[in-house]
A and B are shown apart, each in its own frame.
Chain A
Amino acid sequence: MEKLLEVKNLKTYFHTFKGVVKAVDGVDFYVNKGEILGIVGESGGGKSITGFSLIKLIESPGKIETGEILFEGNDLVKYSEREMSKIRGKDIVMIFQDPMTSLNPVYTIKQQIEESLILHTNLNKKERHERCVELLKDVGIPNPENRLTNYPHQFSGGMRQRVVIAIALAVNPKLIIADEPTTALDVTIQAQILKLMTELVKKQGCSMILITHDLAVVSEIADRINVMYCGKIVESSKVSTIMNHCKHPYTRGLLNSIPDIKDNKDRLETIDGIVPNMFKLPKGCNFYPRCNKRMEECENKEPEYREYKEGHYISCHYPIEGER
């Protein structure tokens, strides 16, 4: 498999008044062509910041400290703002969490889709119009010809997210970064949107990074999964391996907190405690204070991110033995 994107030792820090927040602290991962990579973890784990770092949309006081973002072999970290604006929206696009706020309320749907087409293609006015209609049809918006002149407030939440997806797909991107694309939607709509996105990704042959806190969602559609905790990837492998043979206690905790319809439990299992204060991370393993398998070594020594088995990466001193 050919790698489309490879991230090496990426660090994005926020220099605030209270101290430095290591939002993304040395992550390594890759995305193959045509692959869907899921990034999961709790709130504040650095998932979204990882996504924003990839297209270098980190705002002050945040900063990409070190690392390489190799996109088709070119290091984006070295790119200037001007060069990045040619990549953004064309090769790499992003879909945001809240469709209610991510469209500009004072522009029509057509103006917002067309903006990408004007920036990144040479289509003329008529061709752009046809492309807009085609895109709305692709994302399943009925009566696209008439809907183009509507404003965002005339659409429901699910419909708006479809428009955002249409904007993302407008210029046939190579990589889509979807940051919690279904979190703000009704449960009934969530499945529809995910299905739509997967279909379109497969149809266009592009890759996708799906950022979510919902392991159940990601396991449905992703090929591989990165589990993030406090700015670090704690486990990464194929979906089947994560679901059935996960080795990190945090991944196990996340899996156990998914409700199982067959298993008639009174209470769901939870991971004890809360995500630690990002200004005062533990000295050793970040997960140490909440881990039910902790040992003395974990308190003082940070575990290395290593290849446990082929294609299965983990950072833990004492991986869980056996099947789930």
Chain B
Amino acid sequence: MIKFLIKRIWQLVIVLFAVSLLVFIMTSLVGDPLSLLVKENASASQIAEATEYLGLDQPAYHQYFLFVKNALNGDFGVSYRYQQSAIHLIIERMPATLELVVIAMALSIVFGIVFGVYAGAYPNSFLSKTIMNLSIAGISVPSFWLGMLMIYIFGIKFGLLPVSGRGEVGTILGIKTSLATIDGIKHVILPALTLSMGSVASIIRLTRAGIQENMVQDYVKLARAKGVKNRKILFGHVLKNTLIPIITIFGLQLGSLIAYTTITETIFAWPGMGKLIIDSINSSDTPIISAYILLVAVIFVVINFVVDLLYCVIDPRIELK
């Protein structure tokens, strides 16, 4: 276990090193931050001053080491646009994004597994076929279009749900969340649904395939011969075996959900870090971009670590190595 942890942490270091290098190279290429920072009519001496202040006159490797050194201290520089610490801006907005992602993930797990198990157990029923057709739609429809469709139907046509912003935020157990107020919950429904649609669909399809594959296994026959009831076979014996591939996908989906929040948050004007990064990319706000990318890399590595741990809980044949 400790060996496994050390190995994982070492992997994290390597991944972060690679990502930091990429981030550094890309942000240096993205554009000249000086053009954003100095006034249009700045004199040559003012530009030289700014260059020196930002360390842009130093050789590239020196700049990189400075970047890493500061990053390790949690300092990604000051946002050009907001004139605040970049990492502080991101962390401030992280709860909104995480809230959206967690709700979307919960929806994917609940609906994905329930519908998937049903479609796998009764493949010939009308409902199963409907579920499977909808799941194809769910995978194929791009989320920006789905988001706009939702806004049109639920927001404009019927006026049932708010379509913009996060609504009223309350506090549960010291965490600020929209789920604390009814207004907040109303605001979160549409973005969360839009965000979760793709992963609900993939989890449905994966669960169904797994259930169908496992239903014909000998251990199911033996369980039947033991007199175990169908429902218990399905949700006990079969589902537990099906969960192994689902967890892999779960990890990948969680990552892509965080990535997709950029689109969903932009559409629904959700004040999370996805919207922040889009705005920052538009204005070449490199400190925020690099801080965001490194943070997402850390999140990905952590998720994969958790997924590996979950594997061992579910499948006794897998050992931590």
A153: which B residues are within 8 A, CB to CB?
Answer: 316-317
Q: Which residues of A contact B88 (CB under 8 A)?
A: none
Interface residue ranges of A86-104 to B (CB < 8 Å): 86-90, 93-94, 96-98, 101-104
Contacts of B228 in A (CB 8 A): 85, 89, 115, 119
A101 in contact with B219 (CB, 8 Å): yes
Q: Which residues of A contact B224 (CB under 8 A)?
A: 57, 88
By the criterion CB–CB under 8 Å, are B226 and A105 in contact?
A: no
- Chain A: interface residue total (CB-CB under 8 A): 29
Encode B224-248 as 1/0 by CB contact (under 8 A) with A: 1111110000000100110000000
The reply to whether the CB of B282 lies closer than 8 angstroms to some CB of chain A is no
- Shortest Cβ distance from A173 into chain B, in angstroms? 11
* Residues of chain A contacted by B240 (CB below 8 angstroms): 104, 106-107
Range for the number of chain B residues in contact with chain A: 10 to 19
Residue A55 at the chain B interface, CB threshold 8 Å: yes
Q: How far is the CA of A106 from the CA of B317 in the complex (A)?
A: 8
Task: Please name all residues of chain A whose beta carbon is closer than 8 Å to the beta carbon of B225 when the two chains form the complex.
Answer: 55, 57, 88-89, 93-94, 96
* Residue of A86, A107, A120 with most chain B CB atoms under a 10 A cut-off: A107
Is the Cβ of A101 less than 8 Å from the Cβ of B317? no
Contact of B219 among A89, A94, A102 (CB under 8 A): A102
Complex: A120 Cα to B226 Cα, angstroms: 9
Q: Which residues of A contact B221 (CB under 8 A)?
A: 57, 94, 96, 102
A contact residues around B219 at 8 Å (CB): 101-105
Contact of B222 (CB < 8 Å), options: A86, A87, A108, A167: A167
Residues of A within 8 Å of B229, CB to CB, are 85
For B226, what are the chain A residues with a Cβ–Cβ distance below 8 Å? 88-89, 93, 115-116, 119, 167
Q: Which of A97, A116, A164 has the most chain B CB atoms inside 10 A of its CB? A: A116
Residues of A within 8 A of B241 (CB): 104-106
Nearest CB of chain B from residue A76's CB, rounded to whole Å: 13
Considering the complex, give the chain A residue whose CB is closest to the CB of B225: A94
Is A308 in contact with chain B by the CB < 8 A criterion?
no
What are 6 sample pairs from A and B whose C-beta atoms fall under 8 A apart? A55-B225, A57-B225, A101-B219, A104-B237, A104-B240, A105-B315
- List 8 additional A-B contacts (Cβ < 8 Å) besides A102-B222, A106-B240: A88-B226, A96-B218, A96-B221, A96-B222, A96-B225, A102-B218, A103-B222, A115-B226
Chain A residues with a Cβ under 8 A of chain B: 55, 57, 85-90, 93-94, 96-98, 101-108, 115-116, 119-120, 151, 153, 164, 167
Q: Which residues of B contact A (CB under 8 A)?
A: 217-219, 221-229, 237, 240-241, 314-317
